[in-house]
């Protein structure tokens, strides 16, 4: 059985890392340079990829070059546009928020133009300041009607319910919490994916085995059923064959 890691930054793993034969990774970019690395990996290994400019990049880099970055994504025909979204944890000023929104709106129109699904990064603002707090609440109206996957989902169970009702998908890492367990219970198995987000969240794609086990345990299913279902959901969402 092949299981799918629906979100990896495999090009950032230590040199010499060998992926187990039973894991298929979806390689995600977040910046122009990482998008290029994802395309290289596809050329070498044939992995499905998603390309996008993430909110972190919208803050850190000079977005004057956005046109050039968008052209690269357009030319390289990814399986989806991502990771993109709003990160209110990283944003420190209204200018940061503005830049994040400019880039995110551009990514939304690119996904619509290319008729591709969109893979969302969202993080709330944990700080005591006047900047916006809830990224998921601000993202949802912008992506209404699109094919949406919430990557490394960190919203509430109530928000997850809304996303699913609108046809969206939710991707879980191996990380556990009370709220995440509620999310797993509320989201039907045919809308759940697993990911490592390695090497930043999971150490390697192998951490999806724990994510699969977590879902199996919370839903009272066996590991094979969850492994197969999450792989099939990923293949359907990203439009590739297992
Ligand atoms: Zn990521």
Cα(56) to centroid of ligand 1, in Å? 11
Q: How far is CA 106 from the centre of its chain?
A: 17
pLDDT tens digits, 55-113: 999 999 889 999 999 999 999 999 999 999 999 999 999 999 999 999 999 999 999 99
For ligand 1, the distance from its centroid to the CA atom of residue 30, given in whole angstroms, is 7
pTM of the model: 0.96
Q: How many domains does the chain have?
A: 1
Cβ-Cβ contacts under 8 Å for 93 (sequence gap 6 or more): 131
Ligand 1 mean position, distance from CA 201 (Å) = 8
Q: What is the mean pLDDT of residues 217-237?
A: 98
Q: Are 26 and 48 contacting, i.e. CB atoms less than 8 angstroms apart?
A: yes
CB atoms under 10 Å from CB of 44, counted, come to: 8
> For the chain, what is the mean pLDDT?
96
CATH number at residue 221: 3.20.20.140
| Between 154 and 52, residue with greater pLDDT | 52
More confident residue, 128 or 101: 101
Taking the centre of ligand 1 as the mean of its atom positions, its distance from the CA of residue 147, in whole angstroms, is: 18
**What pLDDT sits at residue 22?**
97
Confidence of residue 172 (pLDDT cuts 50, 70, 90): very high
**Ligand 1 center to 197 CA (angstroms):** 5
SS3 state at 121? strand
Handedness of CA 147, 135, 56, 7 (dihedral sign): negative
**Domain housing 202:** 3-238
């Amino acid at each position: 059985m092949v299981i799918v890691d629906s979100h990896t930054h495999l090009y950032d793993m230590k040199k010499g890392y060998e992926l187990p034969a039973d894991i298929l990774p979806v390689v995600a970019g977040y910046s122009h340079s990482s998008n290029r690395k994802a395309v290289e990996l596809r050329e070498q290994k044939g992995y499905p990829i998603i390309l996008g400019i993430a909110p972190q990049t919208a803050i850190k880099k000079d977005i004057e070059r956005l046109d050039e970055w968008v052209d690269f994504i357009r030319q390289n025909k990814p399986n989806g546009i991502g990771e993109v979204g709003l990160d209110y944890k990283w944003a420190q000023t209204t200018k940061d928020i503005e830049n994040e929104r400019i880039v995110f709106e551009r990514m939304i129109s690119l996904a619509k133009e290319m008729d591709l699904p969109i893979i969302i990064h969202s993080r709330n603002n944990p700080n005591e300041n006047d900047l916006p707090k809830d990224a998921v609440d601000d993202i949802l109206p912008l992506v209404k009607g699109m094919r949406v996957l919430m990557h490394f989902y960190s919203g509430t169970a109530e928000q997850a319910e809304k996303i699913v009702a609108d046809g969206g998908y939710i991707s879980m890492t191996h990380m556990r919490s009370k709220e995440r367990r509620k999310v797993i219970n509320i989201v039907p198995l045919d809308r759940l994916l697993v990911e490592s987000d390695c090497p930043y969240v999971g150490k390697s794609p192998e951490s999806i085995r724990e994510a699969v086990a977590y879902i199996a345990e919370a839903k009272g299913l066996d590991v094979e059923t969850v492994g197969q279902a999450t792989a099939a959901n990923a293949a359907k969402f990203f439009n590739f064959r297992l």
